[in-house]
Structure 1
């Protein structure tokens, strides 16, 4: 990546950072102890990132 793209990413596209280390450690311990459903609730919900059909066609394997 070029410097311009890196700078744009860091200064414009990133809108926030959240340290999930404590939650991930607790979730890992729950999974190790057989409590995966409880662990799942500690993590952020996954979301589908919407993209246009033209971009999707470029991203999808043939």
Structure 2
């Protein structure tokens, strides 16, 4: 698991948070079913209405 947070240059109030999981099951069952999810959700709850996209992606192998 890892994450990175990027801030838009043109619109500094626009951010992208990308979280990398070892698997979808690790995210859905491990994290969401574990003890760390409730405090995480409490921290992000005020921002949930502002989330424009929440989807799962897989790496393509294209990188710099």
- TM-score bracket for the superposition, by shorter chain length: under 0.3
More strand by percentage: 2
More helix by percentage: 1
Question: TM-score when scaled to structure 2?
Answer: 0.25
Question: TM-score when scaled to structure 1?
Answer: 0.26
Higher radius of gyration, 1 or 2 = 1
